[in-house]
Structure 1
Amino acid sequence: MPHLSVDVLESDLAGRESALIARLTDAVAEVYGPWARDIAVVRLNGVPAGRWGIGGVPATAPAPAVTFGIKEAAFGRPEMIAALASGVTDAIAGVLGDHVRDGVTIDFIGSREGRSASGGKIQ
């Protein structure tokens, strides 16, 4: 099950939560297929101004950072990873504005078969 955690400045996020959740879910479903829509998990983490630093100083306008948890087997399909990177970046830029596009970072974190659980059951 795809899990996305997005760190974004609270001031950039306020009032856009629903749109961002919908667009990120759409991006996942476009790559995985419609079946993934119901299991895609999006967590938005609003970071207050002054609590995000780059280069040792508080950042004034950092672009969102995404941690994307997926099954490790997906890394055997580089075209899938590229499509997810593109789709997630487009979704974020579409909601927050194109000025964030070049700074969006995505860390794909893979879990091996049998090393994750949902509902108390090993996946």
Structure 2
Amino acid sequence: MPHLTVNVLESDLVGRETDLIEALTDAVVAVYGDWARDIVVVHLIGLPPSRWGIGGKPAQAPSPSVTFGIKEAAFSRPDAEEIVSRLISGVTDAVVAVFGERVRSGVSVELVGTVAGRSGIGGVVVSP
């Protein structure tokens, strides 16, 4: 189940929530296919400017950052390099479509692999 957590300035996010959720979901679907649409989870975290720092100082206009949780097995597939590239590029393009080209150079996308059997839902370990 793809989980995307986006950190963005609250002032940039307000009013764009639905557009961002839709764009990120579409980016995942573009890589995996329409079957994935119903299992994409997006969490949006809006931060006040005083709570985002870069280089030891409050950031002036940080670009959104995305943490993308994905099953670790995806990195072992023969087409893993292509999938990683397409996910990073698609997620970046989705963020840019919502916030504008000014954010592109700073958008960070981190794919984080979850090992099979190391996650759970409802208090139960999810089996591979």
Give the TM-score band, short-chain normalised.
over 0.9
2:5 is equivalent to residue 31 of structure 1: no
Identity of aligned residues (%): 60
Which of 105, 113, 116 aligns to 1:113? It is 116
Query: Partner amino acid for 1:11?
Result: S
Query: Partner amino acid for 1:2?
Result: P
Mark the runs of 5 or more structure 1 residues left unpaired by the alignment.
none
Quote the Cα distance in structure 1 between the aligned partners of 2:117 and 2:125: 9
Which of 90, 93, 96 aligns to 2:93? It is 90
Quote the Cα distance in structure 1 between the aligned partners of 2:82 and 2:63: 24
Aligned partner of 1:122 in structure 2 is: 126
Query: Partner amino acid for 1:72?
Result: E
Aligned partner of 1:6 in structure 2 is: 6
Mark the runs of 5 or more structure 2 residues left unpaired by the alignment.
none
Quote the Cα distance in structure 2 between the aligned partners of 1:34 and 1:108: 20
Quote the Cα distance in structure 1 between the aligned partners of 2:5 and 2:117: 22
Pairwise CA RMSD of aligned residues?
1.0
Deviations along 1:61-90, one digit per CA (max 9) or x if unpaired, are 000111100000111211001000000000
Aligned length: 123
Quote the Cα distance in structure 1 between the aligned partners of 2:59 and 2:103: 14
Query: Partner amino acid for 1:95?
Result: V
